[in-house]
Amino acid sequence: PAVDALFRSAAEAYGPRVTGVVLTGHLDDGTAGLNSVKTHGGVAIVQDPKDSLAPGMPESALRNVQVDHCVPLDEIGPLLMRLATAKTIRPRKRAVKVEKRSLSPRDMEKKFGRPTAFVCPECNGPLWETKTGQALQFRCHVGHAYSPESLMADHADGLERALWSAVRTFDEQAALLRRLKERRFNSPASPAYGPDLETRAVKFESDADAIRKLLQAKR
């Protein structure tokens, strides 16, 4: 997720000067990035899940990151102002080694062992199982990283797109067969495409309807 990449980039560039805030939202976006903020000496703030319309993201951050502040939404602004103007000096933390975003498959196997059976939704490369703090992650050698929840969500989206593509293809096949049937009827000299054009078209439509009903039932 983009917020994780944002938190990681900010943490690597500015270290203890970064304050990361995770607000209301579904799934667990922000957890891995907020952990990176803490690892580099920054401050982690999370909206109180009881104050959130969608508590998934705050709850995930609280489970997996040593959060500094968990407050309602209307207290986050004043808290940020206090942190930004505070005169106290935060203790320096030892330097954190920053890993390369992209590693070769051989380097990934040396570091994380054999890849899992899962495929990266973005690049279709293999995924390795890793851990960021207490949070489980999956990462490909290009650098795309997913939590279990975000990986399942992306796979579900990809599956739905593939099924709708199948529906469209079946419908187009049926329409094409009927066009060929019409052309053969109007022009006896047209090439022969077999006697069962209508039967094949009906079969394609039936397959499309079956997948369409499955997709609509999941909504």
**pLDDT tens digits, 96-144:** 444 555 677 777 777 778 888 898 888 888 898 887 666 788 888 887 7
- Of residues 90 and 7, which shows the higher confidence score? 7
Q: What is the largest CA-CA distance in the chain?
A: 91
CA–CA separation, 36 and 31 (whole Å)? 9
CA–CA separation, 35 and 142 (whole Å)? 21
Instruction: Tell me the three state secondary structure of residue 136.
Output: strand
Overall pTM surpassing 0.85 (yes/no): no
Q: What is the pLDDT of residue 101?
A: 56
In this prediction, residue 186 has a pLDDT band, given cuts at 50, 70 and 90, of low
Q: Residue 216 burial by CB count (10 A; 0-12/13-18/19+): exposed, middle or buried?
A: exposed
In this prediction, residue 20 has a pLDDT band, given cuts at 50, 70 and 90, of very high
In this prediction, residue 193 has a pLDDT band, given cuts at 50, 70 and 90, of low
In the chain, % of residues over pLDDT 70: 85
Q: What is the pLDDT of residue 51?
A: 93
Q: Among the ranges 128-137, 154-163, 167-176, 187-196, which has the highest mean pLDDT value?
A: 167-176
Listed range (52-66, 80-94, 159-173) with the worst mean pLDDT: 80-94
In this prediction, residue 148 has a pLDDT band, given cuts at 50, 70 and 90, of confident
**pLDDT tens digits, 4-19:** 888 988 988 898 999 9
CA–CA separation, 148 and 168 (whole Å)? 30
Backbone angles phi, psi at 41, to 5 degrees: 95, 10
Q: Is the pLDDT of residue 92 over 60?
A: no
CA–CA separation, 159 and 164 (whole Å)? 9
Average predicted confidence (pLDDT) for the chain: 84
